[in-house]
A and B are shown apart, each in its own frame.
Chain A
């Protein structure tokens, strides 16, 4: 199993550009989530999903859109990038609490810079 795969690893955007951060997992996990981590800070939850067709907001959802059309994929979209979105983005997945007490599995992160 590849686990959680994030692409790209690095990205530079200009203010106002749009892009999609990709996240895929091959562990058949229903739960997937996106976090951002600013320098010297902890992880903050952006959006999460408990299954295909279901998404919900986390702590810092503004400026980000998500969709979950399949169990495997959970892309994060920035519609109009802003310098404040410069951060490292982590995707994670796990079984739902009712399916077993599995830990979160994290991807290696996408380092995004918005100029």
Chain B
């Protein structure tokens, strides 16, 4: 089983921030949290990753709770092209994706 749990689906208005939560309560101390997204049936695309500090890049921000049991991916200004399935996974040798969250950005 995947080591993470995510909501099945979420909607977001275009131009607003999209906040996608992920629970990873069994994460180990040296495991990173990675986020990917998949648009249609393309290969998954890497977004961002982090260990315990908050991270930001040109695509998104990652907020990890102090106890590291959950995290939130933030797309600050969602566009229609951000409509995709978003996966949160924990870094280990057995990288299992789970079902992810289907984000729909609406005009």
Contacts and interface: CB of A to CB of B under 8 A. Distances in A.
Contact of A108 (B30, B42, B96, B99): B42
Contacts of B91: 97, 101
Given A104-B44, A106-B44, A108-B42, 20 more contacts: A35-B97, A42-B97, A42-B99, A45-B95, A45-B96, A56-B94, A58-B94, A59-B96, A90-B44, A97-B91, A101-B32, A101-B49, A101-B51, A103-B36, A103-B49, A104-B36, A104-B46, A106-B43, A108-B43, A109-B42
Interface in B44-65: 44-46, 49, 51
Given A101-B49, A104-B36, A104-B46, A109 B97 contact: no
A41 B87 CA distance: 12
The prevalent SS among residues of A at the interface is: strand
Contact of A42 (B41, B49, B85, B95): B85
Interface residues of B, number: 25
A12 B62 CA distance: 41
Interface of B is mostly: loop
A109 B93 contact: no
A107 to B, nearest CB: 6
A33 B95 contact: yes
Interface string B49-87: 101000000000000000000000000000000000101
B43 A31 contact: no
A43 B98 CA distance: 7
Nearest to B45: A106
A92 to B, nearest CB: 8
Contacts of A33: 95
Nearest to B50: A101
Interface string A74-105: 00000000000000101010001100010111
